[in-house]
Every structure is written in C-alpha cells, then in structure tokens.
C-alpha cells in the first residue's frame, strides 16, 4: 500500500493557540498514567506528507489539561523543532549528543547534563 494513500488531513489543537494542520498519518502512539501526579499522558507521532515528524503530547487529570505539538524536520545537517510560535535549530550531531546525555546512555563520551545544557545554549546563541 502506498504510504501517501493513507495520508489524511489532521489538525492538532495546542494550548499556545497555534494549531498544527498538515496532511499525514499516525505512525505510533502510547499512553501512561502517573499515579503520584494523577496525570494521564498520551503521546502520538505523525509522519507528514513532506516526511516531517509531528509529535503531539496531551496530559490530563482533574482540572489539569495541556496540549503541545512539535514539528521536527531536517534542513541540511540541522534539525529544526517548531511548536507553532517558536523554532529551535540544532546541528544533528549536537541533537544526538543531547539525547544521549539526557537519556543517560552509558558511554565514556557521554557528557554530563550540565555540559549538554551548555552545548544547547551555545547552539542556540
């Protein structure tokens, strides 16, 4: 089946007022409940017709509800993350280094969290 045939028009609501509208399809989803916080978190990853990724996170519980979406795409060797109002661009290698550090992957080359934060600040200056 051609992936483009499964594409549909999607609109993801966000708390920042910048809803994401795109043509795409659901790629994966998961949810979990945090008993201590009393929050249900649902995450969905979409693939757009332009081969971008859109990540949608909805948290709800009691009077609390939040909805956020992020569009991720590559611009040459830079990964761009956009939430509808703000855009951040990181070189792909820096993004992978940050992910490794934040995930706590065991590797002698993995930097501390403080080092990752400094690198991210430098990349966005």
Euclidean distance between the first and final Cα of the chain, in Å? 44
Domain segments of the chain as ranges = 1-71, 86-125
Q: Which residues contact 118 (CB under 8 A, 6 or more apart)?
A: none
Percent of the chain with pLDDT over 90: 41
Helix 113-123 × helix 92-103 angle, to 10°: 160
- Average confidence score pLDDT of the chain: 81
Answer for the pair 22, 54: CB distance below 8 angstroms, yes or no. yes
pTM: 0.71
């Amino acid at each position: 089946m051609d992936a483009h045939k499964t594409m549909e028009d999607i609109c993801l609501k966000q708390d920042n007022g910048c809803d994401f509208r795109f043509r795409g399809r659901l790629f994966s989803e998961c949810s979990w409940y945090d008993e201590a916080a009393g929050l249900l978190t649902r995450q969905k990853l979409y693939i757009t017709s332009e081969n971008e990724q859109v990540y949608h996170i909805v948290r709800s519980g009691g009077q609390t509800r939040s909805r956020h979406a992020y569009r991720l795409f590559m611009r040459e060797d830079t990964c761009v993350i956009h939430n509808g109002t703000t855009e951040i661009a990181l070189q792909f290698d820096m993004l992978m280094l940050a992910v490794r550090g934040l995930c706590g992957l065991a590797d002698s080359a993995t930097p501390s969290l403080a080092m990752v934060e400094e690198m991210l600040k430098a990349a966005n200056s």
